[in-house]
Structure 1
Amino acid sequence: MTSLSALPQHKARAGIQSVEVGFALLEVLSQAHGPLMLRDLAAAAAMSAAKAHRYLVSFQRLGLVVQDPTTARYELGPATLRLGLATLSRLDVVKMARERLPTFLQASGHTLALAVWGNHGPTIVHWQESARAPSVNLRLGDVMPLLSSATGRCFLAFGPRGGRADRSAPLLEAELSLARKQGRSDVPTSAALVRAMVHETQERGYGWVRNVLLPGMSGVCAPVFDANGQMALGVLSMGVTASFDIDLQAQRLLAMTRQLSADLGGSHT
């Protein structure tokens, strides 16, 4: 008799292996730069051409794959587009990011926040403070300035053009006017300096400030892009300047936001 201790603790759920095998063909097509010949598609999926052809016949019937009658090359079909759009429509980028913050918080040790573009500019929608960091006087719903915050600089550099950019114009002009009146030297005070700041932010791939918005505090904000190439979210990391390594925090943050973008069907350019 087999003892209880000899039984496997976790039994894998039964599935249909042929479905899993056939999916390799769809995966290859999704990563290809264009339609593929049968032999190339089969080789990339590590199966014989005859075996691949049988799967492709079924996939064509389902609309998952189409074949060009002229070139005989295979490409993803309309059913895959419908599935992809349905998946994207159900994605909640804020929820996805919130679920990943605890792991990132443990690795970074600094306070984190999520921001989206609201009616009045970049708006904090989630805040997660590090136990090791000092309390910061920011609240949910706070609108971050475009010129003096890492979040604002990130949205200014990567935010979508068109309607959102039009709404940012009066906000930017008001901040420029105030900065000139105050004689500030730590933020741009002219359109030319704003363009230079935006260019640097785009080159780096993230917005950052050191002792600008809050004395003794530094921050980094990286963008998350959706499938349309639009900035959907900003992820902010901030901490005491003396212990906040901007370059290190930026690289950690970019690894997270790039993965989020990929999961949304977007990418960092």
Structure 2
Amino acid sequence: MTGKVREQQGVQSIEVGGRLLECLAAAKGPMMLKELAQAADMPAPQAHRYLVSFMRMGLVEQHAETGLYDLGAFALQLGLSALGRIEPVTIATAYLADLSREIQQTVALAVWANHGATMVRWVSADTPVSATLRLGSVMPLTRSATGGVFLAYLSRSATSRLVRQELAENVRNQLTPTTAAEVDEWIERIRRRGYAYVADFIPGVEGASAPVFDHSGDVVLALTALGYNKPFQAKSQQIVAALKRTASTISQRLGYDKDRISA
């Protein structure tokens, strides 16, 4: 032994092809072959060969209408599996079914991932919410209850870029909020109440979300309940109370001590 750690041999072609997956993961949306090859610093014909193999594996998909490349279903499955093995998710998941039964609403868990507030667990009620949401959905910070929780309790440095992007999109799409002042007011309201409540993100659906904190006082999860407007409104106080109580219980399981953190 020389004291030097010998570098393990790998498969270079996999590492080279992996650059394409890294570029797709970092992109804001689907990419053309030419721009994807340039981003990965490889010739387009070489990139295409890798992409064909990745498509066969389900890691990449090509949109039939546009020819653009994007991450595939298996890539999403890998990402969700990795997120789902984070300890807070494992602990919190055990509480979802009981909460859903208690409030008779759909409940979900979200984590903060590379692209924002990402849904990783979902338990439907007997009358599941008919919406476009699904596992892996990234929720807007300025318009959804789930996103609002992370917006209110994460640092500004973690959310500022996404907030700027969303406000610009809101202006283009004639949605609210459109100003930083409106966002600040919402953040203050969420912190004062201890939860976020939204009635106009998805037509006909209302949602509430509460933060889950870890032992260091950092927000690690958003616990969300959502349902159709009228039944949700009729029991909103009970729903929010159960949601906050469950989020507090999970936080305690993760070692959160509000008095110690505040001291």
**What TM-score comes out, normalization by structure 1 length?**
0.61
Q: Distance in 1 between matches of 2:190 and 2:178?
A: 17
Partner SS for 1:234:
strand
Which of 98, 113, 116 is 1:103 aligned to?
98
Q: Distance in 1 between matches of 2:212 and 2:218?
A: 8
Q: Which runs of 5+ in 2 are unaligned?
A: 1-84
After superposition, residues 75-114 of structure 1 pair within 5 angstroms as 92-114=87-109
Partner residue, 1:42: none
Which of 162, 166, 182 is 1:193 aligned to?
182
Q: Which amino acid in structure 1 is aligned with residue 131 of structure 2?
A: V
Q: Which of structures 1 and 2 has the bigger CA Rg?
A: 1
Q: Distance in 1 between matches of 2:146 and 2:227?
A: 14
Q: Is the 8 A contact 1:91 1:264 kept in 2?
A: no
Q: Is the 8 A contact 1:109 1:133 kept in 2?
A: no
Partner SS for 1:131:
coil
Tell me the C-alpha RMSD between the 2 structures. 1.8
Partner SS for 1:244:
helix
CA 1:247–1:267: 2 relative to 1, 3 Å = farther
Q: Which amino acid in structure 1 is aligned with residue 251 of structure 2?
A: S
Partner residue, 2:194: 205
Does residue 259 (structure 1) correspond to residue 249 (structure 2)? The answer is yes
Q: Distance in 2 between matches of 1:127 and 1:91?
A: 16
After superposition, residues 221-260 of structure 1 pair within 5 angstroms as 221-245=209-233, 246-260=236-250
Does residue 181 (structure 1) correspond to residue 172 (structure 2)? The answer is yes
Which of 195, 198, 217 is 2:205 aligned to?
217
CA 1:96–1:175: 2 relative to 1, 3 Å = same
Q: Distance in 2 between matches of 1:124 and 1:103?
A: 19
CA 1:214–1:266: 2 relative to 1, 3 Å = same
Q: Distance in 2 between matches of 1:148 and 1:248?
A: 23
After superposition, residues 18-97 of structure 1 pair within 5 angstroms as 92-97=87-92
Instruction: Give 1:250 shift.
Output: 1.1
Which of 139, 148, 155 is 2:150 aligned to?
155
Partner SS for 2:230:
helix
Instruction: Give 1:173 shift.
Output: 0.5
Q: Which amino acid in structure 2 is aligned with residue 151 of structure 1?
A: T
Q: Which amino acid in structure 1 is aligned with residue 140 of structure 2?
A: P
Instruction: Give 1:148 shift.
Output: 1.1
Runs ≥4 in structure 1, deviation > 6 angstroms? none
Partner residue, 1:18: none
* Aligned length in residues: 173
Q: Is the 8 A contact 1:129 1:135 kept in 2?
A: no
After superposition, residues 105-184 of structure 1 pair within 5 angstroms as 105-159=100-154, 161=155, 165-184=156-175
Partner SS for 2:138:
coil
**What TM-score comes out, normalization by structure 2 length?**
0.62
Q: Which deviations, in whole Å up to 9, do the C-alpha atoms of 1:85-125 show, x marking residues without a partner?
A: xxxxx982111111111111110110011000000000001
Partner SS for 1:221:
strand
Q: Distance in 2 between matches of 1:267 and 1:183?
A: 42
Q: Which deviations, in whole Å up to 9, do the C-alpha atoms of 1:121-157 show, x marking residues without a partner?
A: 0000111111223433211111000111100111100
Identity of aligned residues (%): 35
Partner SS for 1:236:
strand
Q: Which amino acid in structure 2 is aligned with residue 92 of structure 1?
A: E
